[in-house]
Amino acid sequence: MSLIPNLKIDSVQAGYGDIQVLWDLSFEVGEGQIVSLIGSNGAGKTTTLKSIAGLIRPVSGTISFDGTTLTKIPVERIVEKGVVYVPQGREIFPDMTVLENLQMGSYTKRARQYHSDNLKKVYSLFPALESKRKEMAGTLSGGQAQMLAIGRGMMANPKLLLLDEPSAGISPKLADSIFDSIQKLRAQGITILLVEQDAGRSLEMSDFGYVLENGRIAESGKAKELLDNAHVRQAYLGM
């Protein structure tokens, strides 16, 4: 990868108990880029994101971000470093207001000092959240809940956003809005590692891509090259 990497995954092996999911996984993410990680269900995409976020500890190998080895520090310090995971399924707090959900994202010392500025950025990116800021998050539509999940991630003042299936379960129109917001986040200088069910759309908006098969990198290259790759087109793009 020709870009300057600020995230490096080196020979990572990880899984759940006795079930190994990632096998000697190595790849890099360039600073300020959108990078897609595509693959079939069960390939290890979510496990990869959770390993970077510190929610799963690798059995071996290292993960580093901006020169800090993430595999040696607790989750809260990983967030403090600017690595923020937005999980699949949104996982918002339904019995709290939209604003309270957003405030939960700025709990670290680094994020608190930027709370007001980040809140303005969230409302600018997702105006619906401002109009519904006093409403219970459980009343939001699926697309609005996804916006809230991303907005909460933004409140943590991220340098690197790990997005897990941001368009899952929402309408095509709202998916368009989510994809547009991802590009705007990159324009703000945020690096994005994207796992997305719509692999074609994901690659179209990315700079670089990796194909994960059975916990290993099977293909990698510039996103446009992967879009033209015969194996990728047949296996993941339905062409």
* Rounded mean pLDDT, 122-151: 95
Greater model confidence, 239 or 128: 128
Architecture of domain 30-43+82-235 in this structure: 3-Layer(aba) Sandwich (3.40)
CA distance 110 to 14: 29
> Sorting pLDDT into bands at 50, 70 and 90, what band is 3?
low
CA distance 48 to 182: 20
Task: Output the pTM of the full model.
Answer: 0.94
* Rounded mean pLDDT, 97-118: 93
CB count, 10 Å around CB of 139? 12
DSSP at 136: B
Task: Output the pLDDT for position 1.
Answer: 45
Task: Output the pLDDT for position 5.
Answer: 64
Amino acid at the residue 62: T
Per-residue pLDDT tens digits for 34-84: 999 999 999 999 999 999 999 999 999 999 999 999 998 999 999 999 999
Task: Output the pLDDT for position 184.
Answer: 95
Per-residue pLDDT tens digits for 6-44: 999 999 999 999 999 999 999 999 999 999 999 999 999
Chain position carrying tokens 């899952």: 168
CA distance 191 to 52: 14
Closest to 20 in 3D by CA, of 42, 52, 53: 42
Per-residue pLDDT tens digits for 152-188: 999 999 999 999 999 988 888 889 999 999 999 999 9
Beta strands in 60-188 (DSSP E): 60-65, 68-69, 83-86, 160-164
Quick one: what percent of the chain has pLDDT higher than 90? 87
Task: Output the pLDDT for position 91.
Answer: 85
- Is residue 56 within 8 A of residue 231, CB to CB? The reply is no
Burial annotation 186-213 (CB, 10 A radius, 16+ → b, else e)? beeebbbbbbbbbbbbbbebbbbbbbbb
For 209-227, the DSSP string reads EEEEETTEEEEEEEHHHHH
Indicate the average pLDDT of the chain.
Answer: 94
Show Cβ contacts of residue 46 under 8 Å, excluding neighbours closer than 6 positions: 88, 164, 195
For residue 239, pLDDT over 90 is answered with: no
